[in-house]
Structure 1
Amino acid sequence: MKNLKKEDYQPLDEETLFVVSQTFKALSDPTRIRILHLLFEKECSVTEISNCLELKQSNVSHQLRFLKQLRLVKYRREGKTIYYSHDDEHVINTLQQTIHHAKHH
């Protein structure tokens, strides 16, 4: 194992630490995991997410706002309907690997 010298170590800056911690916070909530997992499969409106996951639309909207702020989901408007999809392959890959890990046991 390589010895790491203090002068060789580059600590994370505060902004990166904050974003990483917020991303893990997002992934620590079962409802947000369910939403991200669904959006990995297909683009959905709030109504579709609500119906598919049997959640209240207000709860789905609240969770999507949080995920949008972290740039984990994106949206597009088609007429009056807004469709959501995942916005970060890295996070989706992490989520998929974690799901695979959980099912492996």
Structure 2
Amino acid sequence: MSIYIGNLSYEATAEDITDIFSEYGTVKRVQLPTDRETGRPRGFGFIEMSSDEEESAAIEALDGAEWMGRDLRVNKAKPREERPASGGWGGNRRGGNGGGGGRDRRF
């Protein structure tokens, strides 16, 4: 099982989160996703602890708690949903040639 932690301060580090969650048991892993373009934290993360009991205790204690000026959202992580494969830019699927009038530039 994994824990989702949302509404994190962008200043929070994996070490900060480990310190907070270690009060409820052994933290095995902390993952803080970053934005691909900017490299900045995305404001959420995932935590794995040694047992379901430790994770449940951490969720109960920390969900809604104020930390680093933000109210945390802490709950069991849901499995990632598969997204349909996209073919490029997606979006507009109009038929027709999509051309637009104008005069012939050869003359």
Write 1 or 2 for the structure with the bigger share of helix: 1
Q: In which range does the TM-score fall when normalised by the shorter chain?
A: under 0.3
Write 1 or 2 for the structure with the bigger share of strand: 2
Give the TM-score of the pair, scaled to structure 1: 0.26
Give the TM-score of the pair, scaled to structure 2: 0.26
